[in-house]
A = this chain, B = another copy of it.
């Protein structure tokens, strides 16, 4: 049977026919070039040697590491043959005998140029580069498609947790409606510590830096850039559309206070930095649409949020990551594991490497970009969720009525109000029903103008109903 339905059927194969694939080439190695030899790269290089026998059996041919592009070739990297090091990455990826290229340099350039050169020369590429994929994934996909080569990137999101293949393949027959992830270990470690110790952001960040959980320049993590890149990748895959990092609404955790965390605790919640990708609800006026997923917009955002302690994501502690997926048929799924680190990331890289190597042995190519749905990305102002607000208020009669009036004027419905303290210490804690970001922002602006409101001390989204 062929892929052309009108072609004559192939005869049944009753006995062991010769198997396609280069069985007679099983000793000919696939040649691997490695770009970058930091924490992840050196672990990949080490495992390629240490697990060579198993990797060969799994691929069907040996994997031979033929070069490692580094900036400092003379730096000591125990267990790795120094003869492999080169500073000329461009020459390495243009070598005619390289079948597979692993990119673990990170950043936009020179990573993009190197990957494009590798693909143009027909090599398949495995990358952990979330920033590049989130900024310019379409260019990489197109280059891979042109070259009929593979582009795999399991390590780009949530470290060792298999989430890219499940979205690209396992759930590809389903309609995913939401993906909510804790995808940045540094911020999860910090928020977890703040929750446990009651400490503030600044001192907890310093502690995380001392322990090696946060970098000297923590901006990419604590300002949510890292999570935003991952959110763009997850949303693109889940919703068959293109979402770039620039499309992602982003707030970091630097403004989260110990009082926010205490407020969360008081309503049975915990504060997490969430990457949230949502498909908008179907248009109720279009009930006859046979495929309700088309023409629906997506929202993609990264921000701290309160979630109930009973939510599966609430118990994800320390530097662990987890991704919670909701879909029409499968229901609610969760994927949990270590989100970073040399060994876990190397595991994801090597899983991809074996897959693309097997594809090459069989003359096959894995899935390419699926962006047929081409959905609009909703502006954050239109995105609805619940909100938690803390207000310091004057101790005068009728204060609650005046505040409630402001919410009503902006069409924001209040779910609960709690008054803490009395007199000069009085504060109000308000949790709303779902409201748009625009309506909530307008409400907060009006509240700040009210003479009975001394301060709006905290505004935070509440997710995971």
A396 within 8 A of B: no
Q: Which residues of chain B have C-beta atoms less than 8 A from A16's C-beta?
A: 142, 146
Asked if A344 and B363 make an inter-chain contact with CB atoms under 8 angstroms apart, the answer reads: no
A38 within 8 A of B: no
Cα of A52 to Cα of B344 in the assembled complex, Å = 38
Asked if B329 and A96 make an inter-chain contact with CB atoms under 8 angstroms apart, the answer reads: no
Asked if B351 and A331 make an inter-chain contact with CB atoms under 8 angstroms apart, the answer reads: no
Asked if B97 and A5 make an inter-chain contact with CB atoms under 8 angstroms apart, the answer reads: yes
A294 within 8 A of B: yes
- The count of identical subunits is 2
A285 within 8 A of B: no
Asked if B370 and A347 make an inter-chain contact with CB atoms under 8 angstroms apart, the answer reads: no
In chain B, what residue has the closest Cβ to A327? B347
A107 within 8 A of B: no
A121 within 8 A of B: yes
Asked if B173 and A353 make an inter-chain contact with CB atoms under 8 angstroms apart, the answer reads: yes
- Selected from B170, B343, B367, the residue in CB contact (under 8 A) with A358 is B367
Cα of A11 to Cα of B206 in the assembled complex, Å = 52
Which residues of A165-196 have CB atoms within 8 Å of chain B's CB atoms? Answer: 165-166, 169-175
Which residues of A229-247 have CB atoms within 8 Å of chain B's CB atoms? Answer: 240
Q: Which residues of chain B have C-beta atoms less than 8 A from A343's C-beta?
A: 328-331
Asked if B173 and A121 make an inter-chain contact with CB atoms under 8 angstroms apart, the answer reads: no
In chain B, what residue has the closest Cβ to A169? B355
Chain B nearest CB from A27 CB (Å) reads: 11
**Interface 0/1 of A312-330, CB less than 8 Å to B:** 1001000000000001111
**Chain B interface: which of A70-78, A333-341, A411-419?**
A333-341
Asked if A169 and B351 make an inter-chain contact with CB atoms under 8 angstroms apart, the answer reads: yes
Asked if A329 and B346 make an inter-chain contact with CB atoms under 8 angstroms apart, the answer reads: yes
- Selected from B47, B53, B175, B335, the residue in CB contact (under 8 A) with A329 is B47
Cα of A331 to Cα of B175 in the assembled complex, Å = 30
Q: Which residues of chain B have C-beta atoms less than 8 A from A1's C-beta?
A: 96, 98-99, 121-123
**Interface 0/1 of A348-367, CB less than 8 Å to B:** 11111111001111111101
Which residues of A351-400 have CB atoms within 8 Å of chain B's CB atoms? Answer: 351-355, 358-365, 367, 370, 372-373
Asked if A173 and B349 make an inter-chain contact with CB atoms under 8 angstroms apart, the answer reads: yes
Asked if B166 and A57 make an inter-chain contact with CB atoms under 8 angstroms apart, the answer reads: no
Contact A364/B361 with A96-B1, A370-B58 known, Cβ cut-off 8 Å: no
A161 within 8 A of B: yes
**Chain B interface: which of A18-26, A81-89, A270-278, A434-442?**
A18-26
Asked if B96 and A8 make an inter-chain contact with CB atoms under 8 angstroms apart, the answer reads: yes
Interface centre among A161, A165, A332, A351 (most CB of B within 10 A): A351
Cα of A301 to Cα of B328 in the assembled complex, Å = 34
- Ordered by A's residue number, 16 sampled pairs between the chains whose C-beta atoms are within 8 Å are A10-B121, A20-B148, A47-B173, A47-B329, A57-B372, A154-B170, A162-B165, A165-B166, A169-B354, A172-B350, A174-B347, A327-B347, A329-B346, A333-B335, A334-B336, A358-B367
Asked if A160 and B333 make an inter-chain contact with CB atoms under 8 angstroms apart, the answer reads: yes
Chain B nearest CB from A116 CB (Å) reads: 10
Cα of A96 to Cα of B329 in the assembled complex, Å = 31
Cα of A329 to Cα of B346 in the assembled complex, Å = 7
Cα of A49 to Cα of B290 in the assembled complex, Å = 8
Asked if B337 and A331 make an inter-chain contact with CB atoms under 8 angstroms apart, the answer reads: yes
**Interface 0/1 of A22-35, CB less than 8 Å to B:** 10010011110000
Asked if B25 and A3 make an inter-chain contact with CB atoms under 8 angstroms apart, the answer reads: yes
In chain B, what residue has the closest Cβ to A95? B9
A17 within 8 A of B: yes
A145 within 8 A of B: yes
In chain B, what residue has the closest Cβ to A122? B1
Asked if B160 and A57 make an inter-chain contact with CB atoms under 8 angstroms apart, the answer reads: no
Cα of A166 to Cα of B98 in the assembled complex, Å = 27
